[in-house]
Amino acid sequence: MCCLIRSHEPSELALGRVPSSPPLLIVDDDAISRRVLRQCLDKAGFASHTVGSGSEAISWLAENQPSLVLLDLVMPPPDGYTVLRTIRETQATREVPVVVLTALDAEEEVSRAFEMGADDFVRKPFKTAELVARIRSQLRLRQYVDALGRRERDARVVLELTQSLSSTLDFRDILYTVVRRIAEVARVDRCSIVLVRDEGKVGYVVAASDDKKLRDLPIDLGKYPEIRRVLETGEPLIIDDAATDPMLDVVRSELPKAAFASAVCIPILYEDRPLGVLFLRSLTQQKLQQQELWVARTVASATAIALRNARMMQSLREQTRESTYARFEAERRIRALEPYADFFHASADGIVVVDRRGIVLFSNPRARELLGVDSFDLGHASFFDWLVPEDRDRLSAQLSALFEEDSAPSSKNRRTTDLEVMSGGRRRTIAVSIAAMTPDDQEEDDAALLTFRDVTNERSTERELTKTKEFLERVIDSSVDAIISADMRGNVLLFNRAAERVFDYPAHDVIGKINVRDLYPEGLARDLMKRIRGEAHGGAGRLEQLETTILARGNVQVPVLVSAALIVDQGAPVGSVGVMTDLRDRIRMQASLDAAEQELRSREKESLVAELAGAAAHELNQPLTSVLGYAEIIRRRAKDNLPHNREIEALAQEAERMADIVRKIGKITRYETKTYVGDAKILDLDRSVPSDDADPSGTMR
């Protein structure tokens, strides 16, 4: 099925590549857990693969790359920690998000999992909504990082190719570089440039990504209906399935087997006139992403301008050989510029000569092309007429400063600035270089030479790169972890806000002034670099989750968790970066938890003693009450001459003393007493310990 795109921006539906996402890997030795997780993920729309052991997980990861790993920690060896370590140490899976899912309750297990590279942690039993939300969050974060990297890479490619195309006239090799780079970015098997002559019956393949030596291969456009369609409409064409696309029915029998499965044709337009097409073909069915098509269309536009320049230069060279510059002899100022005319005509840049008022005295063909005019009314047309209003005063001020008679000699130097012009109904950015140009024989007739080129696409790309750079700087500055980067000599180049807080130094006192070795205890920086380089502990260009100390202001040692890596450019290390997590709050929190735990244990012991004492008092209460009661009864019935009267009195006194002891125990354990017989006091169990089970009468239920 083919799709003809008629808007200037690519369609999301037609152009967005929707590859099947890699499955989520579930690693759990419990069959029930695996089944429950599989059902949860199925309902949430995730494809998943389950394994029941660490060894199965490691074997599966050796041949597959999941989009995310749900990992149980407690399993028979190799356990979840071993699997996590393998994931982070393997190049292919190093960046895969890992969500640890386990019933372990100890905080140290959580800390250990994060130190080994886990991205998130969910405890069992889990809530389905929370688990799915965390999975989606990790996948969105990974997709955003990947998209940001692709966007920055594509912007660099566009900038590289457009600069190459705009800065050369002999661009045979440049065209091969263009198609090869586009094939890499779009991930297609072949990318070629096909140019057509005015009659449009024969095309010429001037460059192909899979054949560096290919030059001007003629093709019959009658056998390429897709190219003819693009040349007729001036719009990109998408062929999703070459085997069924009706457009190719008339030529399908002549196509080689497996010629291509899908294709994209992008017009190379100059002033809405097609010069040819950019032809991308793939042996498998696939669709270009919007970003990839944007790269191809942008480069196609730059290619059109470069091709037009080449044709213009060839035409100008022929005209120069066949004609003279008699037209400039009519005016004295133009005659003075005649020695430069050959150079001006062959220049790839636009060139105009203006007087103090901005009146155009000379223009080369490229200048007229960039400004969208066939010719200037020399001596009358003002260059300011093509500028947007806000840039006219700026150029006027620069010309005035350039021509100022009393100015210093340095004011005559070349000046460069960006100006906005209206060309063909479009607003374009031109980079203008301004230089004074005074003919030797007429010094009073000062003139300025303006050399300019269209940099609209370059400036747009620069702005995008600047936005990306500023965004990354904001991300780094907003990080809760200290981030420090240094060159190979140890000079600090990056010191974020978190680093200012951890080290207690302002960034301006560190960057370019302090060596990174001064931020570590003696010899530690050298040891860390050895670890990173692989000279010790099996390092591989990076160091992860090492607990150590750094030196803050005043040589204060701060415990941190360090991850570090080398920054490599073209295979050679050019610097290092370290990410440090301040452990002081964590250590203080752990100390507080330990103290709280100790206090809790002490209180539990005291409570146990109180309960034992209360229980003893409760058990003594009833027999003691009976003794006091019977002693009082005997005392009242006894006569004065009772032989054991003294012993009975002693018994009552000792019982009373014991009651006093029980009262003291009850007071300590919150048991209260009440009057029993006479002055005797016994424990009041109804008031000793408040209870929700006590009824209004005061008796226990």
Residue 543 contacts residue 564 (beta carbons within 8 Å): yes
Q: Is pLDDT of 445 > 60?
A: no
Say what the pLDDT of residue 153 is: 63
Say what the pLDDT of residue 51 is: 92
Strand boundaries in 340-407, DSSP class E: 350-354, 360-363
Say what the pLDDT of residue 148 is: 65
Place of tokens 């080290």: 503
Judge whether 151 lies within some domain: no
Say what the pLDDT of residue 695 is: 44
203: buried, middle or exposed (CB in 10 Å: 19+, 13-18, 0-12)?
buried
3-state secondary structure of 68: strand
- Residue 25 binned pLDDT confidence (cut-offs 50, 70, 90): very high
> Which residues, at least 6 apart from 572, have a Cβ–Cβ distance to it below 8 Å?
none
Shared domain for 641 and 544, answered yes or no, is no
Burial 299-310 (b: 16+ CB within 10 A, else e): bbbbbbbbbbbe
| CATH code of residue 398 | 3.30.450.20
Say what the pLDDT of residue 343 is: 66
Cα separation, 397 vs 681, whole angstroms: 109
Provide mean pLDDT across the span 195-203: 73
Q: Which residues pair with 71 in a beta bridge?
A: 27, 100
Q: Which residue has the higher pLDDT, 74 or 5?
A: 74
Say what the pLDDT of residue 459 is: 87
* Of the listed ranges 112-116, 236-240, 566-570, 691-695, the one predicted with least confidence: 691-695
Instruction: Give which of 331, 333, 328, 327 is closest to 442, Cα–Cα.
Output: 333
Say what the pLDDT of residue 241 is: 80
- Residue 700 binned pLDDT confidence (cut-offs 50, 70, 90): very low
The DSSP call for residue 10 is P
**Average pLDDT of the chain?**
76
499: buried, middle or exposed (CB in 10 Å: 19+, 13-18, 0-12)?
buried
3-state secondary structure of 24: strand
Q: Is pLDDT of 661 > 90?
A: no
Per DSSP bridges, beta strands 68-71 and 98-102 are parallel
Say what the pLDDT of residue 524 is: 87
Shared domain for 207 and 94, answered yes or no, is no
* Of the listed ranges 38-42, 327-331, 619-623, the one predicted with least confidence: 327-331
Judge whether 609 lies within some domain: yes
The DSSP call for residue 407 is S
pLDDT tens digits for 115-164?
888 888 888 888 888 888 888 888 888 877 766 666 666 566 555 556 55
* Percentage of residues in the chain having pLDDT higher than 90: 3
* Percentage of residues in the chain having pLDDT higher than 70: 73
Shared domain for 594 and 573, answered yes or no, is no
Q: Is pLDDT of 230 > 50?
A: yes
Shared domain for 181 and 310, answered yes or no, is yes
Provide mean pLDDT across the span 443-458: 77
Shared domain for 600 and 575, answered yes or no, is no
Shared domain for 577 and 592, answered yes or no, is no
Say what the pLDDT of residue 559 is: 92
Q: Is pLDDT of 287 > 80?
A: no
| CATH code of residue 177 | 3.30.450.40
Q: Is pLDDT of 349 > 70?
A: yes
Judge whether 466 lies within some domain: no
Q: Is pLDDT of 309 > 70?
A: no
- Residue 394 binned pLDDT confidence (cut-offs 50, 70, 90): confident
* Of the listed ranges 193-202, 537-546, 578-587, the one predicted with least confidence: 537-546
Place of tokens 């660490």: 54
Say what the pLDDT of residue 301 is: 64
Say what the pLDDT of residue 366 is: 85
Provide mean pLDDT across the span 64-74: 89
Record the tokens describing residue 564, joined without a space: 């570090």
The DSSP call for residue 22 is P
Judge whether 509 lies within some domain: yes
Say what the pLDDT of residue 699 is: 34
* Of the listed ranges 275-289, 445-459, 529-543, 652-666, the one predicted with least confidence: 529-543
Provide mean pLDDT across the span 254-280: 77
Provide mean pLDDT across the span 251-270: 76
- Residue 202 binned pLDDT confidence (cut-offs 50, 70, 90): confident
| CATH code of residue 137 | 3.40.50.2300
533: buried, middle or exposed (CB in 10 Å: 19+, 13-18, 0-12)?
middle
Q: Is pLDDT of 10 > 80?
A: no
> Which residues, at least 6 apart from 677, have a Cβ–Cβ distance to it below 8 Å?
628, 629, 632
Domain count of the chain? Answer: 5
Shared domain for 534 and 654, answered yes or no, is no
* Of the listed ranges 119-133, 242-256, 265-279, 289-303, the one predicted with least confidence: 289-303
pLDDT tens digits for 481-530?
889 999 988 899 899 898 889 898 998 888 888 888 888 898 888 888 88
Provide mean pLDDT across the span 13-17: 34
Judge whether 152 lies within some domain: no
Say what the pLDDT of residue 541 is: 66
Instruction: Please state, in angstroms and as integers, the Cα–Cα distance from residue 560 to each residue in 486, 501, 584, 587, following that order.
Output: 18, 13, 8, 10
Provide mean pLDDT across the span 387-397: 86
pLDDT tens digits for 420-433?
888 777 888 888 88
Cα separation, 631 vs 138, whole angstroms: 81
- Residue 105 binned pLDDT confidence (cut-offs 50, 70, 90): confident
Shared domain for 342 and 360, answered yes or no, is yes
pTM value surpassing 0.75:
no
| CATH code of residue 610 | 1.10.287
Q: Is pLDDT of 68 > 90?
A: yes
Q: Is pLDDT of 302 > 50?
A: yes
Q: Which residues pair with 432 in a beta bridge?
A: 417, 452
> Which residues, at least 6 apart from 93, have a Cβ–Cβ distance to it below 8 Å?
61, 65, 66, 87
- Residue 24 binned pLDDT confidence (cut-offs 50, 70, 90): very high
Rg (CA), the chain: 43
Q: Is pLDDT of 439 > 70?
A: no
Say what the pLDDT of residue 232 is: 84
Cα separation, 570 vs 203, whole angstroms: 39
- Residue 49 binned pLDDT confidence (cut-offs 50, 70, 90): very high
Judge whether 465 lies within some domain: no
Burial 261-285 (b: 16+ CB within 10 A, else e): bbbbbbbbbbeeebbbbbbbbbeee
* Of the listed ranges 244-258, 341-355, 569-583, 687-701, the one predicted with least confidence: 687-701
Compute how many other C-beta atoms are within 10 angstroms of the C-beta atom of residue 148: 14
Place of tokens 């440049």: 174
Say what the pLDDT of residue 14 is: 33
At 407, give phi and psi (nearest 5°): -75, 160
Q: Which of 458, 492, 509 is the last residue of a domain?
A: 458
Crossing angle of the two packed helices 584-637 and 645-668, in degrees rounded to 10: 160
Q: Is pLDDT of 382 > 70?
A: yes
Provide mean pLDDT across the span 659-688: 60
Shared domain for 513 and 635, answered yes or no, is no
Instruction: Give which of 234, 176, 228, 226 is closest to 205, Cα–Cα.
Output: 176
Selection from 16-30, 53-67, 441-455 with the highest mean pLDDT: 53-67
Cis peptide, bond prior to residue 573, ω within 30 of zero: no
Judge whether 39 lies within some domain: yes
Q: Which residue has the higher pLDDT, 58 or 166?
A: 58
Shared domain for 289 and 331, answered yes or no, is no
Judge whether 646 lies within some domain: yes
Shared domain for 87 and 222, answered yes or no, is no
Q: Which of 316, 347, 364 is the last residue of a domain?
A: 316
Say what the pLDDT of residue 69 is: 92
Residue 205 contacts residue 193 (beta carbons within 8 Å): yes
Shared domain for 18 and 65, answered yes or no, is yes
Record the tokens describing residue 208, joined without a space: 């192909």
Instruction: Give which of 201, 200, 248 is closest to 220, Cα–Cα.
Output: 201
Q: Which of 145, 177, 209 is the last residue of a domain?
A: 145
Residue-range definition of the domain harbouring residue 54: 12-145
